[in-house]
Structure 1
Amino acid sequence: MVATGTVSSIGSTVPAGAPSAAAIGGRAWFMLVTLTFVYVLNFLDRQLIGILAKPIQDALHVSDGQLGLIGGLYFAMFYCFIAIPIGWLADRTNRVTVLSLACAIWSGATVACGMAASYPQLVAARMVVGFGEAGGVPPSYAIITDTFPPGKRAAALGVYNLGPAMGAAIGVAFGAAIAERFGWRMPFVIIGIIGIVTAILVRLVLREPERGATDLVRASDASEKAAFWPTLRMFFTHPVLMLAALGSGATQFVTYGLGNFAVLFLMRDKGMTLADVGIWYALVLALGMGGGMVVSGRVIDRMTRSSRAGYAIAPAASLAVAMPFYLGFIWAPSWPLALMLLAVVMVFNYFYLSASVALVQDEVKPNQRVLSGALLLLVMNFIGLGLGPTWVGQASDWFKAHGHVRYLQSALYTLTPFYVVAILLFLWLARILRRESRTAAGISA
């Protein structure tokens, strides 16, 4: 299928010099591991607010609603919209350089978070973190796509998408342990310094891959600089790209809404201590979310060999499995039972990520990949990251003001309808992909 303004990844002619799956060597895997480590830092920085919510609330007198705004809307205002010009710049310049500069900016701002003496100062620092992190993921998506060929991309992106799981798990374990001993500020400072050093190393050790080098059908204009407004118009008028973005956004409304308040909920409502969180919640994140990322990439690669609709069916089915376990997690009377149910939720909540990223990267021209990845992140993160935590925080304050004893629990229940919305959007996307595949097969015949 070749849509207007796109280049399909489906083809049989391998361009000269394009690495086959068998030819992927150590340099490609070194690049993937390095990018994944940067993503770990990216997500770790992002999650520290949620991980250290209780001590931050105690120190700066922050309400649930204010906490939701810091981790949600205020952060996303910069993270989502700055990603567009950064994506356009990276499509026209060196993507490794853009990634390195972005890592340095968000890491420096993370250090500033640890030095904040008031809520407004913390808000300002988090906005700069969002500004920097906007340049982290889209260039990495494109670099991986130009290094790994179709049939291996979803698996490679699945490894890369271990970053959130590893970042969240390390953040919980590291953040809780350090905060318990040295206070909540020190984790921000230490992780920020590690990020600055990493930014320098990224610029020194990674090489920029050729655009479109691994596509099965090489685009004749892969080396040309993509125009900004035509790419923007192509993305927002393309039903496949928009449904992938909206389905992912509805999913992230749940994942970020839960993720920013899970530690606070487990401590306040389920009776966990910060030491318990640092061990058991970190383990759930590492095994649940991490396992889901790895499994999802392999499942999607296998499903899409027979039909591109697998990009949509896999996340729809996984979310249908996750939803009842999510309700059980909120209801559970004890934190051990809650964590067991949450582990299942974590496995199935994240199938959408590798599927949507791989679909978008396959669907557009090589010289549009960073900007298209940024636009995907704009839509799904503004909905999920921007509005999910904000919704939960404001709902918690509302339930508290109206006399609910377990007001945060009530707020988390309100995320359930977004599971249904996400499932329906992915099923709609599957229908379109099936129809396009049938049309392409008819043309070939």
Structure 2
Amino acid sequence: MSNAAVTRSLGWRAHGLLSVLVFAYAGFFIGRQIMSIMIEPIKQEFGASDTAMGLISGLAFAAVYALMGLPAGRLADRGSRVRLLAFAGLLWGLSTLLCGLATSFWLLVAARMLVAVFEAPVTPASLSLIADLYPVQQRSLAISFFTGAPTVSAMLGLGVGAWVIDIWGWRSGFYLIASPVLLVSVVLGLLVREPRRGYWDANGSSVHAPRHNLRQAAAHLFSNRPYRLTVLICTLFSFSGFAFAMWNTSFLIRSHGLSLQHAGILAGVVVGGTATVGGLFSGWLTDRLVVVDRRWLVWVPLIGQSIALAFMLSYLMWPVQTAFHIGSMPVPTTMFWCALMGFFTVWWVAPLFNLLTQLVDSWERATAVALQTICTTVAGVGLGPLFIGALSDMLAPFSGDESLRQAMLLANVSLFVALLLLLRLLRQPPFRQ
């Protein structure tokens, strides 16, 4: 591809649509993240166990998300992705408002499940759009901006959200996060045009989608072994990553004695800030290295996650110790390891998402992302928090408040398995030399 052709991707339209997608994704993701600082107050109001909170913060959402993910991906592959995002965002915002109005635990569970219905199209439609906005050699950085949105929203959702919830209660958190998504839905619906599908593919947009039903589409994708292995790796990374994010605030409260407000601020700002920088850096680095050797799409995640695992274990095992104070807020010494872990823990996202868009054709790209997102959501949002919550309850009679620390340590086994699978991915046809 010529330099002139590559330059066409750098116009204001591509960057403008990417900016809208990033802002929208941040808004959607705050809805998941803010649950981590609502665990303790919701648990107290409804008298729920850690297992029940793992259900409401994870599995109830993930189960519905998984059911709706594949149909949402097919809709994005066959229709206007921009209009789909606008419609989904509008209904997502209204459903989030219903969460704040719930008067019982099970009504809140039902409202969270409704939110999942309208969040299902977001990731597949957005990544399909990004693949049509940027060529392969610039796509990792563009994807890192998009996937970095949750880390920025973590700083706002956990920092500002902790302050709002501490003053006005957990219901106010849902009212707070619904407004930006409603706004961006209007912008998408009225001001954004649909880009041409398959613009940067070798065969352009001339290839039309076969008339596969949902089962046939899924079977076709999973017959692709490199795609199947990439999805499994992403799933394992998500299992430990989402579980950590959901329980980190509670870990700081129980094991380090912080208040809800201080724990939420530290968890959001430290992890969110370093993960934002780390995600953008990994995308930038991958785009430069992949020109030399395509295998860097795998080597970057392998190196980053290996380092992140070491820092994660240090963070969780470090003894209670205060390094310094920021005003009245104590900052535990272990937050140093948390910051380093946050920088490296997102190094898998942009390279593997870029790889995924290259392993499939343009007519099935949103469906491919949807299947990947279903797996990562069920494992990460669904099973990860529930696993830690249930394991913490099991260990509580023996370990007390330290049961959560031990459960979070055990969840990192999935990281080690994912690292082994990355080595196996390097032996697949796309990378075999």
TM class, shorter-chain normalised? over 0.9
Residue from 186, 204, 227 that aligns with 2:212 = 227
- Whether 1:43 and 2:29 are equivalent positions in the alignment is yes
Q: Deviation string for 1:295-330 (max 9, x for gaps)?
A: 111122123222222222211211110112111111
User: Separation in 2 of the partners of 1:339 and 1:365?
Assistant: 43
Query: Which one is further off, 220-229 or 262-271?
Result: 220-229
| Equivalent residue number for residue 328 of structure 2 | none
Letter in 1 for 2:369: G
How far did residue 223 of structure 1 move? 4.6
Residue in structure 2 matched with residue 340 of structure 1 by the alignment: 336
Whether the 8 Å CA contact 1:141–1:157 is kept in 2: the answer is: yes
Cα distance in 2 for partners of 1:383, 1:312 equals 21
Instruction: Choose the corresponding residue for 2:364, options 348, 364, 368.
Output: 368
Matched ranges for 1:111-260 at <5 A: 111-215=97-201, 217-219=202-204, 221-224=206-209, 227-228=212-213, 229-260=215-246
| Alignment check: 8 A CA contact 1:103 1:199 kept | yes
Q: 2:285 matched to 1:289?
A: no
- 1:390 aligned residue: 386
CA distance in 2, matches of 1:40, 1:165: 8
- C-alpha distance in 2, partners of 1:231/1:368? 8
Letter paired with 1:357: F
Please identify, of 341-350 and 276-285, the stretch whose mean Cα deviation from structure 2 is larger: 276-285
State the distance in 1 between where 2:401 and 2:23 align.
41
What is the aligned counterpart of 2:41 among 42, 47, 55?
A: 55
Q: 1:23 to 1:382 in 2, by over 3 A?
A: closer
1:9 aligns with none
- Check the 8 A contact 1:99/1:139 in 2, yes or no: yes
What letter corresponds to residue 413 of structure 1 in structure 2? L
Question: Is 1:264 matched up with 2:259?
Answer: no
SS of residue paired to 1:307: coil
Distance 1:24 1:213 in 2: 14
Alpha-carbon distance in 1 for matches of 2:199, 2:216: 23
Shift of residue 402, structure 1, vs aligned partner: 4.1
Could you tell which deviates more after superposition, 192-201 or 243-252?
Answer: 192-201
DSSP-derived class of the 1:351 partner: coil
Residue 433 of structure 1: how far off its partner (Å): 4.7
CA contact (8 A) 1:307 1:434 kept: no
Give the AA of the match of 1:97.
Answer: R
Q: Deviations over 1:152-198 (max 9, x none)?
A: 11110011111110121110112111112211111201211332222
Percent sequence identity is 29
Return the offset for 1:45: 0.8
In the TM superposition, residue 107 of structure 1 has moved relative to its aligned partner by 1.6
Post-superposition Cα deviations, 1:1-58, rounded to whole Å, max 9, x if no partner, equal xxxxxxxxxxx589xxx95236511111111110000000111011111122221112
1:432 aligns with 2:418: no
Paired letter, 2:384: G
Q: Distance in 1 between matches of 2:87 and 2:414?
A: 35
Instruction: Measure the CA separation in 1 of the matches of 2:419 and 2:402.
Output: 28
State the secondary structure of the residue aligned to 1:72. helix
The structural deviation recorded for 1:294 is: 0.3
In 2 relative to 1, CA 40–336 (structure 1 residues): closer, same or farther, beyond 3 Å? Answer: same
Q: Distance in 1 between matches of 2:268 and 2:399?
A: 32
Q: Tell me what 2:395 maps to.
A: 399
CA distance in 1, matches of 2:205, 2:337: 50
Residue 350 of structure 2 corresponds to residue 354 of structure 1: yes
Q: Secondary structure at the match of 1:152?
A: helix
1:68 aligns with: 54
Partner of 1:442: none
Deviation of the 1:257 alpha carbon = 0.9
Q: Is the 8 A contact 1:109 1:129 kept in 2?
A: yes
What SS does structure 1 have at the residue aligned with 2:203? Answer: coil
For structure 1, the 5+ residue unaligned runs are 1-11, 439-445
Question: RMSD value over aligned CA atoms?
Answer: 1.9
Tell me which of 55, 60, 67 is aligned to 1:81.
67
Normalising to structure 1: TM-score of the pair?
A: 0.90
Mapped to 2, the partners of 1:376 and 1:356 lie a distance apart of 11
Shift of 1:214: 2.0
Partner of 1:7: none
SS at match of 1:52: helix
